[in-house]
């Protein structure tokens, strides 16, 4: 039998020590839900747009980190919430089995859609 160990995930900050984090460094995707490459690219584009706004003096240097963090949360926070809830449900021994029997493929489709919005 082949398997993997448990995947533990904790949300990472979008900004660390004034540095805008993107991709894996920002933890843009919970491994439970997939879509890592698309989310990593989206976070890089978002950071690039924020830096562009800073360079055009639309955002003061003192507000760049906060502006990026706010934009990052608007873009990714909902995905993290859904992924966290679905992971708790699916990995719980009784709840996961019950949910699977009750909703089956519908639950899977919902989970995929909710974590990719």
Residue 51 included in any domain: yes
Number of domains in the chain: 1
Rounded Cα distance between 91 and 87, Å, is: 6
Residue 26 included in any domain: yes
Residue 4 included in any domain: no
Residue 22 burial class via C-beta count within 10 angstroms: exposed 0-12, middle 13-18, buried 19 and up: buried
| Domain carrying residue 106 | 15-115
> Is residue 44 very low, low, confident or very high in pLDDT (cuts 50, 70, 90)?
very high
Q: Whole-model pTM?
A: 0.65
What's the whole-number mean pLDDT along residues 96-101? Answer: 64
Question: In terms of pLDDT, which residue wins out, 25 or 112?
Answer: 25
Rounded Cα distance between 33 and 66, Å, is: 27
Average per-residue pLDDT for the chain? 77
Residue 37 included in any domain: yes
């Amino acid at each position: 039998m082949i398997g993997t160990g448990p995947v533990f995930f904790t949300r990472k900050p979008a900004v660390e020590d004034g540095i805008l984090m993107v991709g894996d460094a920002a933890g843009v995707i919970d491994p439970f839900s997939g879509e890592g490459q698309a989310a990593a690219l989206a976070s890089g584009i978002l950071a690039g747009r924020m830096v562009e706004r800073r360079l055009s003096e639309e955002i003061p240097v003192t507000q760049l980190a906060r502006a990026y963090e706010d934009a990052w949360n608007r873009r990714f926070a909902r995905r993290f919430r859904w992924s966290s809830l679905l992971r708790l449900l699916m990995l719980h021994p009784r709840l996961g089995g019950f949910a699977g029997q009750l909703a089956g493929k519908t639950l899977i489709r919902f989970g995929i859609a909710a974590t990719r919005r």
